[in-house]
Amino acid sequence: MIICSNCKHSNMDGSMFCAECGAQLVGKDAFVTQNISTEEFKKIGGQSPIHEKIQQPLGDDSWGSLHLLDSGQVISLSGKNEFTLGRVSEGQPIMPDIDLSAFQAYAAGVSRLHAIIKRDGDQFIYMDLGSANGSFIGGRRLSPNIEEPLKHGDIVSLGKLKIQTLMKS
């Protein structure tokens, strides 16, 4: 029996959260991911530090981030090992994992489904998905649908949109 320190409800052994009040019963010292609200930032004025449509970093399980050179904003890669990059366009059921519309993606020539970025063990891979304006790593044009290794600090261009990749190893 575990007695909840918050509401004194007796829970079965092995319970992780109190069934009565929802308080955490075990592993409290463990790092628990929490959401940090961006509401405050919005109220203070200006933009939230991260565009709201983009998934926000969840704890420290992020394996890298994308630094948009033009706007200076950073998108964290976490939660899964593969992300498609592109832009959402109205009336088409294409949903890239990371929507770059907010960063003038259309003007920069980013395709709706431009590329995929993924992690394989401690390797990072970038692949152009046959985009209209192509992808470049460090100025070198990539062939479509061929996986290219990606290093920390590489500058990738999706059309004219420049992104620096920051990878954790």
Interface with another protein (CB under 8 A): 1, 7, 12-22, 24, 26-27, 29-39, 52-53, 55-56, 58-59, 79-80, 82, 91-93, 95
- Name the residue among 34, 98, 30, 32 with its Cα closest to residue 64: 98
Taking the least distance from each CB to another protein, the nearer of 80 and 152 is 80
Taking the least distance from each CB to another protein, the nearer of 76 and 157 is 76
Find how far residue 120's CA is from the centre of its chain.
16
Taking the least distance from each CB to another protein, the nearer of 21 and 107 is 21
Q: Are 85 and 136 in contact (CB under 8 A)?
A: no
List beta partners, residue 125: 118, 149
Q: How far is the CB of 168 from another protein (least distance, A)?
A: 17
Taking the least distance from each CB to another protein, the nearer of 27 and 46 is 27
Q: How far is the CB of 84 from another protein (least distance, A)?
A: 9
Q: How far is the CB of 66 from another protein (least distance, A)?
A: 16
Q: Which residues contact 44 (CB under 8 A, 6 or more apart)?
A: none
Q: Are strands 74-77 and 64-68 parallel, antiparallel or unpaired?
A: antiparallel
Taking the least distance from each CB to another protein, the nearer of 101 and 133 is 101
Amino acid identity for residue 13 in this structure: D
Q: How far is the CB of 155 from another protein (least distance, A)?
A: 26
Amino acid identity for residue 89 in this structure: S
H or E segment and range at residue 42: helix 39-44
Q: How far is the CB of 135 from another protein (least distance, A)?
A: 20
What is the spatial distance between Cα 74 and Cα 68, in angstroms, rounded to a whole number?
A: 6
